[in-house]
Amino acid sequence: MQALHIIKIGGNVIDNSENLHRFLKDFTALDGYKILVHGGGKVATQISESMGIEAKLVDGRRITDIDTLRIVTMVYGGLINKNVVAQLQRYGTNAIGLTGADGDFIRAKKRPVKTIDYGFAGDLFEGSINPDNISKLLDSGFTPVFCALTHDGDGQLLNTNADTIASALAVALSKSYETTLVYCFEKKGVLQDIDDEDSLIREINPERYEKLKTDEIIHSGMLPKMDNAFTAISFGVKAVIIGHSDDLGQLKNKAGFGTRLSK
């Protein structure tokens, strides 16, 4: 079975051109099939403010009204996505920039209104990913670069969490490839002590994860990422790695990189 790496990058890479160039060089050096998934960083918020449109967030989640949807479509699907693709071409990766609407690769449903109306936010469902169409791209030598936009099949674009997209891609493609999901963020991995970068936890299995939660070593913002990761593993993803984007190059050398989550 062919190996596939699905790598998600966040704002700490997107917002810093030096970090981004270093990361994209390391990404290009990785052997085998790979997919890149990116969010929007601070750029969407900065452009919103420059146009007099206030970014609305509830518990860190963006409210995507129609004006915000227009901006994230321009920024995620245009400015950021095409800049990343152009740089990857420069380094020798034959990248193709995509939203979920392209090739009908990723469908979502508009998030239902409960206590909060998140606007044009999209939630994924079973069958959201079209793995056959994505495999055609991979097998043709292309490296897909997905931004955090999906569609509902009725002509509506939706803003969808990039972590969730990466996880769903990994699960859907794990039936055809030996899939490793990599979340790159601003820490070296999961830390025993959040203030000590040298307290990296190298390996976590489900039993250890439960103990780390009970001992409140892992909490708040890290929990959704970890829960997503172990769900992906339970559905066939080989492993999930959480680490700093600067260390991605260690993957090619088969060296220890970040925190590895597995069965």
Residue with the larger pLDDT of the pair 148 and 193: 148
62 labelled as ligand-binding?
A: yes
**Which pTM does this prediction carry?**
0.94
Indicate the pLDDT class of residue 255, thresholds 50, 70 and 90: low
On whether 260 is known to bind a ligand per the annotation, the reply is no
pLDDT of 125 > 80? The answer is yes
Confidence (pLDDT) at 192: 85
Q: What is the spatial distance between Cα 117 and Cα 112, in angstroms, rounded to a whole number? A: 8
The per-residue pLDDT for 112 is: 95
Confirm or deny that 40 is annotated as ligand binding: yes
- 168 vs 109: CA distance, rounded Å: 14
216 falls in which pLDDT band (50, 70, 90)?
A: confident
Annotated binding-site residue? 41 = yes
Helix (H, G, I), strand (E, B) or coil at 126: coil
- Nearest residue to 150 via CA among 164, 138, 140: 164
pLDDT tens-digit series, residues 180-211: 999 998 888 888 888 888 889 999 999 999 99
* CATH classification at residue 147: 3.40.1160.10
Average pLDDT over residues 48-57: 87
Chain centroid offset of residue 85 CA: 16
Helix (H) or strand (E) holding 144: strand 143-146
Examine the pLDDT at 127 and tell me if it is beyond 70.
yes
Distance CA 27, CA 84 (A): 11
Q: What is the strand order of the sheet 239-244 is part of?
A: 95-98, 143-146, 33-38, 3-9, 178-185, 239-244, 259-261, 203-204
DSSP, collapsed to helix, strand or coil, labels residue 153 as coil
The CA distances from residue 205 to 67, 211, 212, in Å, are: 43, 10, 11
- For the four alpha carbons of 161, 43, 12 and 86, in that order, the dihedral sign comes to positive
Domain count, the chain: 1
* Residue of 55 and 183 predicted with greater confidence: 183
- Contact present, 131 and 175 (Cβ < 8 Å): yes
- Dihedral angle computed from the Cα positions of residues 174, 151, 225 and 204, in that order, rounded to the nearest 10 degrees: 0
Query: Which domain covers residue 226, as residue numbers?
Result: 3-261
Examine the pLDDT at 85 and tell me if it is beyond 90: yes
Tell me, what's the pLDDT at 224? 79
